[in-house]
Amino acid sequence: MLRRALTLAASTVIGGALALVTAAPANAVEVDVTFSPLSIGDYCHASVNSNAWIGFYESSGLRCYGSSPSGAGGPQFLGYGSPYLACKYLTPDVVMSASRGTGDSLVCRVIR
C-alpha cells in the first residue's frame, strides 16, 4: 500500500512538472510590430554591410543602402538582408513571420 502511495505521489509530481514545462503562458498574444527603414538600417549595418544605414523591404526583398566607399553621391545599394533575421535582430520577442508594410517598412508578427 505504501509503495502504491509513493508511486502515485511521484507520478503526480512528475506530471505536474511536465505540465509546467510544456504549457504556454496564459497571456501570450500575437501582435504585429512595424519597423521603419532606419530601424531596418540598424540590422543592415550589423549584418549586411558596415556602410549601410537604411533599409527597405521592397518587392525584390529586404535591401540595404548606405554611403559609397568614396562618399560621393547619394545612398547606394549595398546588399540584401533577410526579413526574418531582421525581425529576430530588432525584437527580443518570438518571431512568427515577416512581411512588407506600408512605405517599405518591415512588419514582424511576434508572440508576446
pLDDT along the chain (112 residues), means of 10: 51 51 73 98 97 96 88 86 98 98 97 95
pLDDT for res 73: 77
Whole-structure pTM value: 0.73
The one-letter code for the residue type at 81 is G
pLDDT for res 7: 52
pLDDT for res 68: 74
Cβ atoms of residues 81 and 91 within 8 Å:
no
Alpha-carbon span 85 to 25, nearest angstrom: 24
pLDDT for res 67: 85
